[in-house]
Copies of this chain bind each other. A is one copy, B any other.
Amino acid sequence: MKLGRLNHIGVATPSIADSIKHYRDTMGATHIHEPFDLEEQGVKVCFVDTPTDSGMNGTQIELIEPLGEKSTIRGFLEKNPLGGQHHVCFEVPDIAEARAEFEEMGKRILGPTRIGAHGTPIFFVHPKDMQGMLTEIMETPREGAHWSN
C-alpha cells in the first residue's frame, strides 16, 4: 500500500464537553463539529478540524468519550484518567485491498471491517503489530463528502 492522508488522531477523553472547552478556549480551535454517538463502537465522537496551508482540511482530532458500560475505551481511561492519544487513522483508497494486504503481512486485524465515524468502511490493526500504535485504516470518503462529519 501507499501511505495515505493521516485522517485523524483519536484522543480519548472522559468528557467531550470539557475537551471542546479545551480545544476552543485553550487551543483556539474554530471548527468543532457536533458530537454524535457511534453506538457500534461504544463511543461518543466529536471532530475538531485543524488547518493546512490551504484551508481547514488538516488532520482532525477525533475526541472519543465512552458510550455505554462496555465501551472499548473504558480500559484506556482507567489507565489514563485525564485521557490521551488513543489511536491514529490513515486513509486508503480501497478498504478491501488494504485489509488483504495487512492480512498477507500477518498483521492482527481487530474484528470485521465496519462503518466508522466518517461513514466509510474502517478496520483496526493491533498495536503490537504496529509499533505500539493502535492503527485505524479507513477508506477515503468520496469527493464532496470529505468533511461531512
* Chain A residues with a Cβ under 8 A of chain B: 1-6, 9, 11-13, 18-19, 22-23, 26-30, 48, 50-54, 57-59, 61, 80-85, 88, 90, 105, 107, 127-128, 130-133
Bound Cα distance from A82 to B132, whole angstroms: 5
25 sampled A-B residue pairs with Cβ under 8 A: A1-B28, A3-B27, A3-B29, A3-B48, A3-B50, A3-B51, A4-B50, A5-B53, A6-B59, A6-B61, A9-B88, A11-B131, A19-B131, A22-B130, A50-B90, A52-B57, A54-B54, A58-B59, A59-B59, A80-B132, A81-B132, A83-B131, A83-B132, A84-B133, A85-B133
Known A-B contacts A5-B58, A58-B5; the reply to A13 vs B52 at CB < 8 A is no
Q: A58 touches which one: B11, B22, B58 (CB < 8 A)?
A: B58
Task: Return chain B residues, CB-CB under 8 Å to A88.
Answer: 9, 85
Bound Cα distance from A122 to B88, whole angstroms: 24
Smallest Cβ distance from A83 to chain B, in angstroms?
4
